Amino acid sequence: MHSLPFALTLFLSASLGMSVQPLAGKLLLPAAGGTPAVWSTCLMFFQIALLAGYLAADRLAGRRLVYLGLWLFALPLVLLVSQIAEPTWVAGNTEYPFLGLLGYLAVAFGPGYVLVSTTAPTLQRWFADSPGRNPYPLYAASNVGSLYGLISYPFLVEPNSTLAEQQTAFRFGIVLLFFLIVGCAMMAKPEPQVQAVVARTPLPRRSRRLIFLLAALMSCWLTATTTHLTTDLAPVPLLWVVPLALYLLSFVVVFARWPEAARTLLGRVVPAALVFLVIALAVQATEPVELVVGLHLSVFFLAALLCHGEVAALKPPPAQLTDFYLMLSLGGVAGGTFAAVLAPVIFSRLGMIEYPACLVLAALVRPGLRPIDPTRRDTFLLIGFIFAAGLVRIAADKWLSLALVDTDALTARIIRSGLTVGLPATAAFILVRGPVRFAGALAFVLILGASDRRIHGEVLEQSRNFFGRLRVTRSEDGDTIRLVHGTTQHGAERTADGDRPKPLMYYHERGPVGRLFRELPAERTRRVAVVGLGVGAMAYYAEPGSRWTFFEIDPAVVRIARDSGRFHFLPSCRGDWDVVVGDARRELVGQPDGSFDLLVLDAFSSDAVPVHLLTAEAFALYARKLSPDGVLVLHLSNRYLDLPPLAARLGQTCEPPFEMRLDDDAASETEAADGKFPSTWAVLARKPSDWGPALQRSIRFQKSHVTPGPVWTDDYSSLRGIWK
């Protein structure tokens, strides 16, 4: 029996299972809102569905005819319900469509995904029924398929097909997979004529526990490192692909060929690599971004090879194969669900505790996975380390501020970080032979770093929820308070401005927004809608008698801007205002047509662009909500994506079409010192008179010509065509 048909079948199965996950998320975005909660809920659902598939495979192990009968019965149902389910099912819940999301996913993708998930353990079991056959290299082939599905979706599938075409391809792929499974069943060793339920020896309890814990650790680390990279370091679109690709690649490597020498080498390399990463986390290093991101990814990949290598070393005889994959999947569900769903709630006031916790737990993993039994000597060494490192920190706080008074800020920070973090972390490596004492020392170094509030200014408060981590920080000179989401600043206020602060950053009076409100006719600013609240800086431009409505998806942002007392733009607003909490596109549907004279979209400055707000259907909605002579304003500043050409093309899809003027504004050294950021703003109107005479004569807002290129819709979008 040749392994190639089995490998090709598992490759197709894994490719289908991986590519359908971003497809499901994209289908849900226009109806459920462009929130991280949508993606985390999808991730949690597919992990649970994978577990259900592995559980079914475990129960049907050795019952080949029953398994094929299940496919034959379920396949028509899968094809039918996937066409009936509609994403609009989730639109009724305006708070958080959790149950609607799960209901849609369960109907539209649940049966098909569970069926596909059963193939990996089942086909490997069939292959192993022939004497002398090793099924575990087939698991490597399955992960190659997952890797291909992951990488091909954003770079091949998404740019060249609509969502409807992708759904059709998924259904066709499941049918093809069924026929390949039938072919593999015919090639496999024939079943006995009389089926009997054979009592199987379960995996040893210690093996089950270790497989579960290692899988949970790396699944949690995968989610945590992805969140850290895409929010706190480099919020580059599609960066989430890289950690997941490395995670899958580690399975490919260790289940294909993984010599004992490699396990031994990693046992020595990973602890040293953890020390470097702990130092980077403790000093909150962000620059140079390429080096820092590379460090995080490299250590993650090495740890994945170590942990998954130990899982591979625990793989049982083929008779226990399905039980093995069941525990592996159960650990993945536990770790992923904790990091994606539970951690934001449990650690809402503490930040991303789960990421450094993964590093500390990884310090306990060594080749062979011997029982952890710390000695009295380990305890004394750890206590001595904590005492010495604490003394160094106290000495640094007391004397370095005086000794470095004439030193520039960067040099002083390097010296201080080296003494208070670098020196203890290096000393921690001396304790590496004892896993418990080494992990405890790394944990204390991370605590030292977290307690140093002078690295990026004083943190006045922080919160975390499904929408990300927010921090309110005060600059070292005490002059400015900022609202920061990851690496993106959502607004700032000078403490010296009093109860009516002047807007800074993208909203500066000498920037495009200031010019816009000076040059637009007064009748265009009477009824204003703003998508994206931030700290409420736009409210500075409200005039008496005007009515402003802010749409903000994150309740924590609303609380900070409106109720915390730290920012004063909303309380000092001269017009009437209110805040609508929820996804703007969903909430705008409920507003009467023609409600607004001016609609400002300020939701694209972060590098995680909410795609569903930049589609032809979204622009048609904006056009309906504007008055006949209303104006649409877009904030299009972005580090990685060239959004103005796309916006100009989207304006042409409306009836009547919108023409666009663009102000791509820079900031001089003097303006930057005054708190102004460079920014890009666009103003769209149906006819030139809607802009007013002053804006038509403006030398800064230049008419933007429409260039050929992609037009996003709810059925098609791709980042590939708009990279800078």
- Which H or E run contains 551? strand 547-552
Per-residue pLDDT band for 571 (boundaries 50, 70, 90) equals very high
| Token couple for 423 | 């020196």
- Residue 2: burial class (beta carbons within 10 Å; 0-12, 13-18, 19+): exposed
Instruction: Mark residue 665 as left, alpha or beta (left: phi above 0; alpha: psi -120 to 50; beta: remaining).
Output: beta
Residue 659 has pLDDT above 90, yes or no: yes
Cβ 424 vs Cβ 394: under 8 Å: no
β-partners of residue 433 are: none
Amino acid letter, 688? P
Contacts of 161 (CB under 8 A, 6+ apart): 169, 716
Bigger pLDDT: 348 or 215? 215
Amino acid letter, 31? A
Q: Which of helix, strand or coil describes residue 485?
A: strand
Amino acid letter, 178? F
* Chain centroid to CA 338: 14
Cα 689 to Cα 415: distance, rounded to the nearest angstrom:
60
**In the predicted model, what is the mean pLDDT of residues 376-398?**
78
Contacts of 351 (CB under 8 A, 6+ apart): 450, 462, 464, 469
Residue 623 has pLDDT above 70, yes or no: yes
Residue 562 has pLDDT above 60, yes or no: yes
DSSP character at residue 459: E
Tell me, what's the pLDDT at 420?
73
Tell me, what's the pLDDT at 309?
93
Tell me, what's the pLDDT at 195?
42
Cα 647 to Cα 644: distance, rounded to the nearest angstrom:
5
Quick count: other Cβ atoms within 10 Å of Cβ 611? 18
Q: Which of helix, strand or coil describes residue 434?
A: coil
Cβ 687 vs Cβ 648: under 8 Å: no
Residue 533 has pLDDT above 50, yes or no: yes
Per-residue pLDDT band for 237 (boundaries 50, 70, 90) equals low
Per-residue pLDDT band for 226 (boundaries 50, 70, 90) equals confident
CA angle at 15 for the pair 9 and 19, rounded to the nearest 5°: 155
Per-residue pLDDT band for 456 (boundaries 50, 70, 90) equals low
Tell me what percent of the residues of the chain surpass a pLDDT of 70.
87
Cα 305 to Cα 299: distance, rounded to the nearest angstrom:
10
Amino acid letter, 15? S
Tell me, what's the pLDDT at 92?
46
Tell me, what's the pLDDT at 399?
66
Cα 368 to Cα 687: distance, rounded to the nearest angstrom:
73
Per-residue pLDDT band for 256 (boundaries 50, 70, 90) equals confident
User: How far, in Å, are 197, 388, 492 from residue 449 at the CA level?
Assistant: 57, 15, 25
**457-472: pLDDT as tens digits:** 678 888 777 777 788 8
Q: Provide the H-helix boundaries in 520-583.
A: 555-558
Least confident of 11-25, 69-83, 367-381, 426-440: 367-381
| Token couple for 668 | 């001089």
CA angle at 623 for the pair 620 and 624, rounded to the nearest 5°: 90
Sequence length of the chain is 724
Residue 528 has pLDDT above 50, yes or no: yes
Cα 44 to Cα 50: distance, rounded to the nearest angstrom:
10
Cα 48 to Cα 330: distance, rounded to the nearest angstrom:
8
| Among the listed residues 578, 599, 283, 698, the one whose alpha carbon sits nearest the alpha carbon of residue 449 | 283
Q: In what order do the strands lie in the sheet with 596-601?
A: 576-581, 547-552, 527-531, 596-601, 626-635, 679-685, 659-665, 702-704
β-partners of residue 364 are: none
Bigger pLDDT: 354 or 468? 354
Residue 574 has pLDDT above 80, yes or no: yes
Per-residue pLDDT band for 412 (boundaries 50, 70, 90) equals low
Cβ 175 vs Cβ 75: under 8 Å: yes
Per-residue pLDDT band for 305 (boundaries 50, 70, 90) equals very high
Query: HSE-up of 304 (CA within 13 Å, CB side)?
Result: 26
Per-residue pLDDT band for 320 (boundaries 50, 70, 90) equals confident
Cα 631 to Cα 414: distance, rounded to the nearest angstrom:
50
| Among the listed residues 651, 656, 676, the one whose alpha carbon sits nearest the alpha carbon of residue 666 | 676
| Token couple for 352 | 């991303």
Least confident of 196-205, 241-250, 294-303, 708-717: 196-205
Tell me, what's the pLDDT at 681?
93
Residue 413 has pLDDT above 70, yes or no: no
Residue with tokens 């698991």: 139
Quick count: other Cβ atoms within 10 Å of Cβ 480? 18
Per-residue pLDDT band for 196 (boundaries 50, 70, 90) equals very low
Tell me, what's the pLDDT at 406?
53
Q: Phi then psi for 541, rounded to 5 degrees?
A: -90, 5
Tell me, what's the pLDDT at 191?
58
**In the predicted model, what is the mean pLDDT of residues 389-404?**
67
Tell me what percent of the residues of the chain surpass a pLDDT of 90.
33
Tell me, what's the pLDDT at 401?
59
- Which H or E run contains 19? helix 4-32
Residue 94 has pLDDT above 50, yes or no: no
Tell me, what's the pLDDT at 621?
95
Cα 163 to Cα 30: distance, rounded to the nearest angstrom:
12
| Token couple for 217 | 């650790």
**In the predicted model, what is the mean pLDDT of residues 389-397?**
73
Per-residue pLDDT band for 672 (boundaries 50, 70, 90) equals confident
Integer distance in angstroms from the first to the last C-alpha of the chain?
51
Tell me, what's the pLDDT at 87?
66
Amino acid letter, 247? Y
Q: Phi then psi for 465, rounded to 5 degrees?
A: -150, -160
Instruction: Mark residue 502 as left, alpha or beta (left: phi above 0; alpha: psi -120 to 50; beta: remaining).
Output: beta
**In the predicted model, what is the mean pLDDT of residues 268-276?**
93
Amino acid letter, 298? S
Cα 618 to Cα 585: distance, rounded to the nearest angstrom:
7
| Token couple for 558 | 């609303």
Tell me, what's the pLDDT at 179?
94
Tell me, what's the pLDDT at 190?
65
Cα 146 to Cα 13: distance, rounded to the nearest angstrom:
8
Strand 547-552 and strand 527-531: the pairing is: parallel
Cβ 131 vs Cβ 1: under 8 Å: no
Tell me, what's the pLDDT at 95?
46
Tell me, what's the pLDDT at 198?
42
- Residue 188: burial class (beta carbons within 10 Å; 0-12, 13-18, 19+): buried
Buried b (16+ CB within 10 A) or exposed e, 488-523: bbbbbbeeeeeeebbbbbbbbbebbbbbbbebbbee
Tell me, what's the pLDDT at 485?
78
Quick count: other Cβ atoms within 10 Å of Cβ 723? 10
Cα 614 to Cα 633: distance, rounded to the nearest angstrom:
13
Tell me, what's the pLDDT at 93?
42
Bigger pLDDT: 425 or 250? 250
Bigger pLDDT: 403 or 422? 422
Amino acid letter, 105? L
Q: What is the pTM of this model?
A: 0.82
What does the mean pLDDT of the chain come to? 84
Cα 400 to Cα 402: distance, rounded to the nearest angstrom:
5
Residue 188 has pLDDT above 90, yes or no: no
Per-residue pLDDT band for 236 (boundaries 50, 70, 90) equals low
Tell me, what's the pLDDT at 704?
87
Residue 429 has pLDDT above 90, yes or no: no
* Chain centroid to CA 177: 31
**477-504: pLDDT as tens digits:** 778 899 887 667 788 889 888 888 999 9
| Token couple for 682 | 């666009």
Cα 667 to Cα 562: distance, rounded to the nearest angstrom:
29
- Which H or E run contains 280? helix 260-282
